[in-house]
Amino acid sequence: MTFDVQAIRKDFPILHHLQDGRRLAFLDSAASSQRPIQVIEAMDLLYTTSYANVHRGVYRLAERATNAFEAARSKVAAFIGAPSHDEVVFTKNATEAINLVAGSWGRANLGPGDAIVLSLLEHHANIVPWQMLAAEKGFEIRWLGLTADGQLDLTDLDRLLDGAKLLGVTAMSNVLGTLTPIRVLADAAHDRGALILVDACQSVPHQPTDVVEMGADFVAFSGHKMLGPTGIGVLWGRAELLDAMPPFLGGGGMILNVTTEGFIPDAVPAKFEAGTPPIAEAVGLAAAIGYLENIGMDAIRRHEIELTSYALRTLHERLGDSLVIHGPCEPAPRGGVLSLELLDVHAHDVSQVLDEHAVAIRPGHHCAKPLMRHLGVPATARASLYLYNDTDDVDALADALVAAREFFAP
C-alpha cells in the first residue's frame, strides 16, 4: 500500500498499548473511532488557556473561547461544502440531530394522510424518532427494501415517494457497508416534492462530502466516528428550512427576547443550540477535521477500498463457506464495514474469542433490528476498518476467526 498507516498509527496513543503482549487490532471504528494526539492536545489547550462560556462574556477569555467555537463551526461548514456556516447546528450527536429534524420540521409539517419513506438499512436513530412522531401525528411510514446483495431496491421508489413529504436514508450502512446513491435518491425525492434527510454518520469520516452535490436537505453526523470527541454531532440543513422550523429545545442561548407573555427565538443556528454548547468538543472536532484534511479524504477512501478488497479476499480464502460476509461482495460500492457470520457460532462468542487474540470487533444487532430481521440473523460480528488499520489487522482478524472456528468445532 502507498498509504502510510504506520506513520498515522504513531499519532494515536491508544494504539501504542499492547493487549496481552499483542498489537491491538482495533476494528470497531464504525461504533466509535480512536483519537489522534492532535485532537487531544487541541482540547487540552482550550481548557488550559482559553476556556470560558461562549456568546455571553465580553472579557477577553470569553471572546477567545467564542472565536474558537465559531471557528470550529466554519471548519465543519467548509469540510462538508455548506454554503454558510450558519447552516451548521451543533448537537450532542447525530441521534439528537435527527430527533431535531423530526421534532421540529416533522412536528410542524406531518400529520394524518402524510407519509415518509425510510429504508431497511437505517440505524434506529433514523427510525425510532419517526415512529414516535407517527404515533403522535398519525402519518404513514413506508419502507424501501433491499436487493439480495444488500443494495437499496429502487424498483418501487417512485410509488413509495408518491405523496411522501420526506425520504430518510443512510449514506452508508453501519451493518452492510452499503453506499447508497444519495444524489439519485435526492433527485427522485425532489421530483415528487419530498425532502431528503441523510444519515451520514458512516460516510462523512470515510469519503469526501459535499452537501450541495449530494442534493440533500438535511445531513446528520457525529464527531466521535471521525476522530473527534464524543458529545458533539452536527446537523446541516438548508437555510430556508432551518429558518422556517420552530425551536427544538428551549432555554438560554436560543432566544432573542423573553417576556412573561412569551419569547422570540434567536436566528439560526443559535435557535437550535439551547444551553451551554459543547465548546471543547467543537474545538476537538475542528482538530479532527484538520487531521483528516491533512491526509486527504480521497486518499482515505482509496486506502479503505484497497484494505476492504484485501479483507474480502483474505477472509474468503482463509474461512471459505464457514464464514458469511453480509452486504455487497465488491469493495467499490461499500465502505470498510464487514458484518460477519461464523456458521453455528453466535456473534458474541466470536467476539469474545477474538478479544483473546487482541482483535476488537463489535457483536450485536448494531441498532438495526429491522435489517437483522431481513437478514434472518439475531446478530453479526462486525469488523470495521479506518485509516489507522492495515493488512496486519486484517490478517489478525482472519487468524482469530480461524481460531474461533476451531475452538467451537464439534
Q: Which of 65, 167, 367, 397 is catalytic?
A: 367
CB 146 within 8 A of CB 152: yes
- In terms of Cα–Cα distance, which of 187, 162, 161, 164 is closest to 109? 164
- Please spell the DSSP secondary structure of 27-44, one letter per residue: -BTTT-----HHHHHHHH
135, exposed or middle or buried, with CB in 10 Å at 0-12, 13-18, 19+? exposed
Rg (alpha carbons) of the chain, rounded to whole number? 22
CB 203 within 8 A of CB 365: no
Residues 6+ apart with CB under 8 A from 203: 171, 172, 179, 209, 221, 335
Which cell is 93 given? Answer: 450527536
- In terms of Cα–Cα distance, which of 122, 141, 120, 119 is closest to 130? 141
CB 358 within 8 A of CB 19: yes
Strand ranges of the sheet holding 233-237, from the earlier edge strand across to the other edge: 88-91, 233-237, 218-222, 195-199, 166-170, 115-119, 140-144
- In terms of Cα–Cα distance, which of 170, 99, 156, 158 is closest to 129? 99
**DSSP assignment letter at 372:** H
Any catalytic annotation for residue 201? no
**Grid-cell match 450558519, residue found:** 86
CB 340 within 8 A of CB 323: yes
Residues belonging to the active site: 367
